Chain A
């Protein structure tokens, strides 16, 4: 039986009915991974995964996700399993502890098959900054899968696993979900614990999930999200069951369209898909309202001050002293630092450390970092105002479909604009997701649904109703003869 492209819910049913064993499932997964050409994984954990599958088959494990193989983005620390964060500097780093998200998902019985490829330290929108090679988009191997969680997105898109974790600092779940034609969700900031997530920009980083549809994402969030006393920014409100409201009626609901996002400048196909999606929601009884968010134009510049500032400090711990890459043949401490970091970090990471160091420097702090904090508050307030009028906000997930590998690497600004539509929800801390809703140049594109603070249930409800009335999420890439 082919397990490729099966949803999480379908696999659960197959296991429950004993139509397939977990061992077969995991074994098949590794077979598929070995023949894959996308370079989605950095490290595999075959022996441990197969043992866990046997345990499940022997009835020793239960839980909501029991026996299901999943993949973890290589930014989550996994005890005794190498965690590189896509960087040379952590090439040999084996964490002595599990991230809370990893812990939660194993407590639910899921089986981690390996760690997925990603942009180095989650800095990138194409997966080209990974030290472990570019990930390829399963829809076209010459194109990028998006980033930074490109490995997770590609692995789910290609049907290697039915679910994977991701992290989203400025769009790192939603943009690759869109470019790979799958569903991805970033919950409210603080809803999932950051304990054990290697930090890029602490005030923006948030864990989330990739799956084939919104319903599977809801099930995953039921385990990924939790209150964690080890993370001071973790939200203490009790977590909802995200499946509870997924079938709510959309009649009378209002969807906001952001006036300041100029969709008419985008590719014709992107515009058409957007219009078609609007019609689906209208048919479900929802109506559209234009909301003005005047400060949203500040999102990209604000983000590229705040995120590098935090990253420049967060990445100081990688100094060659305690763990990670240490340069050889150094004569003194200064040289140890300079060489270890120069050799251990890639260009994009260095670029952001430099920007961050600059904007925090005495004399520049007020002009950059402080200003950015002010504009961030203004953007947040725009969301507060908008959600006074509408239930959710809708936009394209990314300006276009997947681009050719290498086509944007020489132009960082062009690359940064990939996150034009996604960044603002990170700055505001609100939940957002991307669902497949059409094609542009034969490649999938995504629709972004943004919810109010702690209203991930609502966007999951909209997404699920949309998917009950469309078939974009059933589309799968043609993998040719290789698989």
Chain B
């Protein structure tokens, strides 16, 4: 029997605002427990929420990017449930009238393009954290995260494999980071997803019973958790049993999903409009301001790089796919450096260094200023591109200034023709056999002579000068 999978994702993106959704406390990650909490976040008696408009701006920016409808008047509701890290006993969320409705996201799975429709994206506040393993006999609570703004992005159930889910998540990740809506740091929980997975027989019109896998926080785990769940559900159905609708957790250690204890989720949240908050109205002027400050998205960037700077399509795509790389590239170009050279180094040498260390460019020791120096030294002939790679490797380790490295290690390119002629003469004299072959028509040997000259000069010879002088010497 053949089965098909239906997946819908609910992604929580933590909005990169300075303050919380309803209070003026900071949203910074990693502070001492309970230090980023004000009266509102504590849920003290008598406190009231006041909406952070910046969160709305970011949500709207996301909505515009996916070509969704923006509700210029949206409302907040209370979702009631008891949990120790939920100080008010309810979460403020947007149930009935979310800020964003509709829209879609394009994904690409091994070259196959597909469009996933978005149901809605709504604003809500995050809860705090319960910590059960800090003390032997008690649980404690950290409310630093309580009240942090989240954008919950809900997809239609149009995703049909774990691979598609990962691709969707990657597309979403790229989008929210480019829009400066979310920092995209999945390990810190800035972007996490709940996956609704169900199975049905190919051709069935009705959806099968779904399970929800909660809080998956890496691309790899999304793929593994969904694949596990698909296999599990198929096994259940093939054995003649029924899938139970439930919430499950993915255990990455065992690579399996497990049902959550039923007490961990309440059934009736008793949603109702939050009487402390009036409908939030975004004026046409505010919408215009958001539109006018809309950042350039990857596809547009890539097109611009090709037309404006004539760089390779593949390089343009790689650079524009990452917000950090494109920023890095644009700074280099703005400083009057050769765009092609910059693109070439970023995609080539720097790209492989980044991959090796699995970091982002702004986490490396290579600063934009230092990269500028390096590019200028290549352009003005002080160093060769080959030497530049050696210097980059050194900067990668130490972060030292490129000029310093060039001076200290004597890497300045040899331009002096008489010096180069001396080396060339030496190379010709010690390789008489090859010279003869070359003269008899073995043109390919020219590269060998260039290599020998470079070897003699420890790579410092100016390649163009070597070419010219070698040709002259060999053809004489």
Contact = CB atoms under 8 A, between A and B. Distances in A.
Given A95-B46, A194-B48, A357-B270, A313 B89 contact: yes
Interface stretch (A197-205, A401-409, A463-471): A197-205
B270 A360 contact: yes
Closest 8 CB pairs of A and B: A316-B89, A203-B275, A360-B270, A202-B275, A196-B46, A198-B45, A77-B46, A317-B43
Interface stretch (B13-21, B78-86, B298-306, B340-348): B78-86
B82 A319 contact: yes
Interface majority SS (helix, strand, loop, mixed), chain B: loop
A365 B78 CA distance: 14
B276 interface: yes
Nearest to B51: A232
A56 to B, nearest CB: 28
A334 B82 CA distance: 9
B90 interface: yes
A93 B78 CA distance: 25
Contact of A230 (B50, B263, B268): B50
Contacts of A99: 46
B268 A316 contact: no
A96 interface: yes
A337 B82 contact: yes
Contacts of B42: 322
Given A313-B78, A316-B90, A230 B275 contact: no
B44 interface: yes
A362 interface: yes
A233 interface: yes
A319 B272 CA distance: 20
Interface residues of B, number: 29
Nearest to A333: B84
Contacts of A365: 270-272
Nearest to A358: B270
Contacts of B48: 194-195, 230-232
Given A97-B39, A361-B268, A233 B278 contact: yes
Contacts of B268: 361-362
B94 to A, nearest CB: 15
Listed residue (A194, A231, A233, A317) with the most chain B CB atoms within 10 angstroms of its CB:
A317
Contacts of B80: 312-313, 316, 360
Contacts of B84: 319, 321, 333
B326 to A, nearest CB: 39
Given A232-B50, A323-B45, 12 more contacts: A76-B46, A96-B39, A195-B47, A196-B46, A312-B80, A313-B78, A315-B89, A316-B82, A317-B89, A360-B271, A362-B268, A365-B272
B189 interface: no
B381 interface: no
Interface of B: 39, 42-51, 78, 80, 82, 84, 87-90, 141, 263, 268, 270-272, 275-278
* Most chain A C-beta atoms within 10 Å of own C-beta, residue among B82, B141, B271, B272: B272
Contacts of A231: 48, 50
Given A229-B50, A362-B268, A95 B45 contact: yes
Nearest to A194: B48
Contacts of B87: 317, 321-322
B152 to A, nearest CB: 20
A230 B49 CA distance: 7
A316 to B, nearest CB: 2
A157 to B, nearest CB: 27
Contacts of B275: 201-203, 233, 310
Contact of B44 (A201, A315, A323, A334): A323
Contacts of B49: 232
29 contacts: A76-B46, A77-B44, A83-B45, A95-B44, A97-B44, A195-B48, A196-B46, A198-B45, A198-B46, A199-B45, A202-B275, A232-B48, A232-B49, A232-B278, A233-B277, A310-B275, A312-B80, A313-B80, A313-B89, A313-B270, A313-B272, A316-B82, A319-B82, A323-B44, A323-B45, A333-B84, A360-B272, A361-B268, A365-B271
